[in-house]
Structure 1
Amino acid sequence: MTLVGCAGKPKSIRSARDLPGSRIGVQLGTTSDTKVSKMEHDKAGTQVERFTKTADAIQALLQGKVNCVVEDEQPAKAFVAQNDGLAILPHAYSTEPYAFCVAHGRRDLVRNINHALRLLRNDGTLDTIVSRHLRQKMSIAYQPRAIGRPNGRLVVATNATFQPYEYYDNGRVVGIDIDIMQAVADVLGMTLQVEDMNFDAVVTSVQTGKADVGAAALTVTPDRLRNVSFTDAYARSRQVIIVKASHHEARSQSLAQKFRQDFLVEGRYLYLLQGLGNTLVITLFAILISLCLGSLIAIVRTTHDRTGRYTVLNALCKLYLVVIRGTPTMVQLLIIYYVIFAAADVSKVLVAIVAFGINSSAYLAEVVRSGIMSIDRGQSEAGRSLGLSYGQTLRLIILPQAFKNVLPAIGNELITLLKETSISGYIGLVDLTKGSDIIRSITYDAILPLGVVAVIYLAIVLSLSSAVGALEKKLRKNER
């Protein structure tokens, strides 16, 4: 199995001994990442390429961007079964146990889950769940018991890109971990609620109280133990090395076959429709928040500049603008979700609306302020001479003209806001981009899902641009 190594020369990957000097693909934050990171700065020039999803690492391997991918055995088998030209090396890279994580301080929950796992292990339920999924007989997978559930919800954080432990099937998150957690919820008399998110957000969600349990084929590591507690192990897995075979016959598919596989089978297009709906809702309400808050900030700042009033408010507004414009949107989104709304059970759509609205308002504030400042002072003086108050002059004379002047810039901010919503998946919200990610995690095809999403974004942007242009043309008719 010959691949190109870091220096551009052929690199043969036949065992773990051949890894030094190669490019290794891993999923960010996994045990594979931890283990291979020890080789990253060796004298052989080993490089570790980290991806948010193993499916992306596999795609990089197929395209020759990495020499191999280190992954857990069962998900690796699923990737190899779906992709021609991939192979798993016969010897394990390492062996590790899996456990569920729970926030520090919730010892009662750890004890209860351990008690449930012992019962499920003794009556054979655990073995049955694992064997059924490994044989891919989902039709006889674990079914929830018809019992009362008086003890509330058990919120489980997972990363549904890890077949057979957690993945999407017919629009639902399923897998070994999910079935085990459902069985545990049955024993505890609780209602199971599954939250899909990026793998590196699972432990954080548990730590901050957004989820009760992390179930994502997690292994116990010293770094994780500093942040969360773990239950007893419920399974063991081998870390294996996936390589690209030297000789294979790729199965060719027509564009129509790929389209059917990616979007029509099992109604996978519904992920895009759900994501599109969330994206449009977030964009609409976020821009409304942005316009209102940004306009207030702009009024405070221009009033201070022209009259000297609102000194304290002006200082606070300037501080707000510096902080919001000086920090990345994704960091703000994560802070609002994990810190500000840490103890609140609020909709993720609402969190995204607030986060993007606050971020966009900082930019629109300066846009609106520039529009106000562009209006000649004589307009204000004329309004005051007619007996209008400062507020009435601003509302009836200055702001209408200012908004007309900066309408193109507001349209640009709206388009930027629309595209920025693509990071909503970091808090487990299914937006348009996340819908594409789900499809890619199922089909292992990157081209069509990403291409279709790009076309959808482009169509929305063109529509918004046309609408803003038409509105601008209409508003300027009275200038003729």
Structure 2
Amino acid sequence: MNLDFSRVMPSLPYILEGIYITLQVVVLAALLGFSLGIILSLFKISTIKPLNWLADFYTSIFRGTPLVLQLMLIYFGSPQVFGIQIEPFTAAFLSFGLNSAAYISEIIRAGIMAVDKGQKEAAIALGVPYRKMMTDIILPQAMKNILPALMNEMITLTKESAVVTIIGLNDIMRRAYIVGGQSYRFFEPIMIAGLIYYILVMILTIAGKLVERRMRRSD
């Protein structure tokens, strides 16, 4: 094997700078996905049929097409559709957030449906308004049940964020590719990028377990 990491190690700080960009995309996408996911999940359990259809249609579109296609449509299609060029960073977190919302909505919907029906019946009997019942009673209990699934979605977002390299965003993977082109050695910088992603995922995994353990103790 013809491996020589010493030739790419001077570029390690440059690759590491991509962590900030990657985390920005992931955090903003997660916030957008979670916020929109809650709204979609409430639409799905609503008694108003048009809201059910709208949420199901949204989910089918974003779950039924590749994420990279959605990213390319938003970035490369924006000048043709909207007459403006959306910035790579904006296109990245928008596409990831909108895509994640479809999955998170299903996770939250399943969590809400798993809450004991007696909780809802008791709230209705006490005259608790629907909005207050959902925010103060149902959703907090649902969140405890779906935390592992939400953490898995966060991990998936972190790993899949590497596809933003196709629109030129200087994330971890893009910087590793640039270093490979400059040094004519692609294996080493890509391996370094892989190690960085692995460490980020392990940190998220450990953080998720700690939060889950703490929530269990608070029961």
Q: TM-score, normalised by structure 2?
A: 0.93
5+ long unaligned stretches in structure 2:
none
Provide runs of 4+ in structure 1 moved above 3 Å: none
CA distance in 1, matches of 2:14, 2:42: 42
> How large is the RMSD of aligned CA atoms in angstroms?
1.6
Q: Which residue of 2 aligns with 1:332?
A: 70
5+ long unaligned stretches in structure 1:
1-62, 64-251
**Of Structure 1 and Structure 2, which has the larger fraction of its residues in helix?**
2
Q: Which residue of the other structure, out of 135, 139, 144, is the alignment partner of 1:399?
A: 139
Structure possessing the higher relative contact order (Cα contacts under 8 Å, 6 or more residues apart): 2
Q: How far is the alpha carbon of 1:300 from its aligned partner?
A: 1.0
CA contact (8 A) 2:78 2:85 kept: no
Aligned-partner residue type, residue 9 of structure 2: F
Q: How far is the alpha carbon of 1:312 from its aligned partner?
A: 1.3
CA distance in 1, matches of 2:54, 2:17: 39
Give the 3 Å change call, closer, same or farther, for CA 341–301 of structure 1 in structure 2.
farther
Q: Which residue of the other structure, out of 98, 108, 127, is the alignment partner of 1:368?
A: 108
Q: Which residue of the other structure, out of 428, 443, 460, is the alignment partner of 2:168?
A: 428
Aligned-partner residue type, residue 316 of structure 1: L
Q: Which residue of 1 aligns with 2:18?
A: 275
Aligned-partner residue type, residue 198 of structure 2: L
Identity within the alignment, %: 35
Q: Which residue of 1 aligns with 2:179?
A: 439
Aligned-partner residue type, residue 263 of structure 1: M
CA contact (8 A) 1:271 1:438 kept: no
Q: Which residue of 2 aligns with 1:322?
A: 60
Q: Which residue of 2 aligns with 1:466?
A: 206
Deviations 1:295-316 (A, max 9, x none): 110011112xxxx22x212211
**Of Structure 1 and Structure 2, which has the larger fraction of its residues in strand?**
1
Matches within 5 A, 1:197-212: none
Matches within 5 A, 1:111-190: none
CA distance in 2, matches of 1:338, 1:259: 35
CA distance in 1, matches of 2:212, 2:79: 39
CA distance in 1, matches of 2:84, 2:25: 19
Matches within 5 A, 1:45-84: none
CA distance in 2, matches of 1:270, 1:464: 22
Q: Which residue of 1 aligns with 2:42?
A: 299
Q: Which residue of 2 aligns with 1:344?
A: 84
CA distance in 1, matches of 2:84, 2:27: 23
Match of 2:209, SS?
helix
Larger Rg: 1
Match of 2:194, SS?
helix
Match of 1:476, SS?
helix
CA distance in 1, matches of 2:44, 2:84: 33
